[in-house]
Amino acid sequence: MEQEDTIAAVATAMGESAIAIVRLSGIAAIPIAQQVFRGKRKENITLLPGYTVRFGHFVDLHGETIDQGLLTLFRSPHSYTGEDMVELSCHGGRAIVSRLLETLLQHGARLAEPGEFTQRAFFNGKLDLAQAEAVADLVKAKTERARRVALNQLEGKLSEVIHRLRSDIIGALAAVEVTIDYSDEVGELDYPELEGRLAHICQQALCLANTAHYGRILREGMRVALIGPPNAGKSSLLNQLLQTERAIVTPIPGTTRDLIEESLSINGIPIVLTDTAGLRATADPIERIGIDLALKTAEQADLLLFIVDASDLSSLNTLSPLPAVESKDRPALFLLNKKDLVTNDVLEQAANLVRQKFPHVTDIIPISALTGENIELLRDKLQQITTSSLYGDTEGVMITSTRHSQALQEAVHHLQEALTTTHQRLPGDFIALDLREALNALGQITGETVDDEIIHRIFQDFCVGK
């Protein structure tokens, strides 16, 4: 790679701030810094050891002072990239930062591409690919949980699990190959033993692959759809949960036609709440489109909040079954709204009607979207469901990227194939073929077996200076 280049970039966000950091990495990082830095002690900084900090002035090509600040020096291999590095901390103003960066470029540094510092760290073996990707996830993490998962990945927990899986596969592969190459000495392949071994590996890989679902929830939020007949109080509930007047609420049925999507966070878990058009038979083409969208949203949701008006028993009688609610793949909560308008007897009647129409429903919660009664209970329940959706994680390790998920699925596929051929007592070559493919797929996650084009694409998503 173009490692002979020395790269420079602003590592902090552009704008006004107390300090900003401009980074340099590469063979000429320290000589270039020597050109722009005038330390108080007038030392030759090219002679300083790593992990040294000095106060001084930054000067341009003509020796004119740009700003004052700190220089931090790192010596290869003990730096983020593994190369010689210098960080210049100046005041955080656009003019200062631009001028300083420009001066570094005039002295021969090249502007870094997005993610190039981390890419160099990867090529120099400071981080593997999964860890490098975690750097971007960590910076982008919006909730506590996402931060923790990204940090675990950066610290190598995911890589460890992948390495363990790979070394188990290598063990199995060795056992197969030795019987191919030296059947005279070691005898025949022990099929039952291998089958047990592969079944175990397969199970482990599958477990990890299944965490991808939680990873998506962490990254994009748990998708919660508010659905129900018109006027049940869906928009009122959205407003109540958000504590704002986000959606229009009127007594006129069919007010909400478009989807209204808003995010909130319950105990660090992101939730994307979608208010939808009320479900009913209608001749209005615009409302019809809204209802179709509502049904689609319901099908794609991780959790359904089905809201009905407890004070309107006749509407409950005409509720038609809904495939999305019927499905056992996703949890659904039934909310009997407008609790404030009815007696407990009526509430009980309403609950019975719901149970008749939707026999598998277990959770029915009476609420009032208007007064806020039982909204805390609903929040607790939401948190409970969301947390339990996130509990499949193995040792705090979670698959959060589509790239990793696809690679794991491929590995699982080949492990299952190997298991089948072993079960069928086919010759070792057949088994070895799939085991090698599985190894290859897993190696893509940590970067052992990934091609340059993919690596390039991964680092393109980073911001400059990282």
Ligand X SMILES: Nc1nc2c(ncn2[C@@H]2O[C@H](COP(=O)(O)OP(=O)(O)O)[C@@H](O)[C@H]2O)c(=O)[nH]1
Secondary structure (3-state) at 291: helix
- Is residue 274 a contact residue for Mg ion (CB under 5 A)? no
Q: Which does 56 bind (CB under 5 to 8 A by kind): ligand X, Mg ion, none?
A: none
315 belongs to the binding site for Mg ion (CB under 5 A): no
Asked if residues 270 and 143 have their Cβ atoms less than 8 Å apart, the reply is yes
Determine the interface stretch with Mg ion among 248-256, 323-331, 374-382, 419-427 (rule: CB under 5 A). Answer: 248-256
Residue given tokens 């958000």 in the structure block = 242
- Identify the residue among 25, 256, 297, 421 touching Mg ion (CB under 5 A): 256
Shortest distance, position 366 Cβ to ligand X, whole Å = 10
Stretch that binds ligand X, among 80-88, 167-175, 317-325, 333-341 (CB under 6 A): 333-341
Instruction: Please compute Rg for the chain using Cα positions.
Output: 30
Of 44-52, 139-147, 246-254, 350-358, the segment contacting ligand X by CB under 6 A is: 246-254
Question: Which among 217, 230, 223 has a CA at the least distance from the CA of 324?
Answer: 223
Half-sphere exposure of 236 (CA within 13 A, CB side): 24
Binding mask 258-277 for ligand X (x = CB under 6 A): --------------------
With a CB cutoff of 8 Å and minimum separation 6, the contacts of 105 are: 8, 111
- Judged by CB under 6 A, which of 6, 25, 179, 236 binds ligand X? 236
Q: What 3-state DSSP class applies to 246?
A: coil
- Determine if 305 is a binding residue for ligand X (CB under 6 A): no
Q: Least distance from C-beta 441 to ligand X, angstroms?
A: 47
Q: Tell me which H or E stretch contains 157.
A: helix 157-181
276 makes contact with Mg ion (CB under 5 A): no
Residue closer to Mg ion by CB (options 128, 275) is 275
* Of residues 300, 281, 292, the one with CA closest to residue 225: 300
Q: Which of the listed partners (ligand X, Mg ion, none) does 236 bind, with a CB threshold of 5 to 8 Å by partner kind?
A: ligand X
User: Among residues 25, 79, 159, 235, which is the contact residue for Mg ion, using CB under 5 A?
Assistant: 235
d(CA 19, CA 123): 30
223 scored as a contact of ligand X (CB under 6 A): no
In DSSP notation, 363-428 reads -EEE--TTT-TTHHHHHHHHHHHHHHHTTT-BTTB----HHHHHHHHHHHHHHHHHHHHHHTT--H
> Is beta strand 65-74 parallel, antiparallel or unpaired with respect to 85-92?
antiparallel
Closest distance to Mg ion from the beta carbon of 275 (Å): 6
* Pair of tokens at residue 47: 């002679």
Pick one of 49, 63, 251, 323: the residue that binds ligand X (CB under 6 A).
251
3-state secondary structure of 66: strand
Of 117 and 334, nearer to Mg ion (C-beta) is 334
- Pick 149 or 367: Cβ nearer ligand X: 367
Specify the residue, 238 or 378, whose C-beta has the smaller distance to Mg ion. Answer: 238
Number of amino acids touching ligand X (CB under 6 A): 20
Task: Point out which residues bind ligand X (CB under 6 A).
Answer: 230-236, 249-251, 255-256, 278, 337-338, 340-341, 368-370
Task: Point out which residues bind Mg ion (CB under 5 A).
Answer: 234-235, 255-256
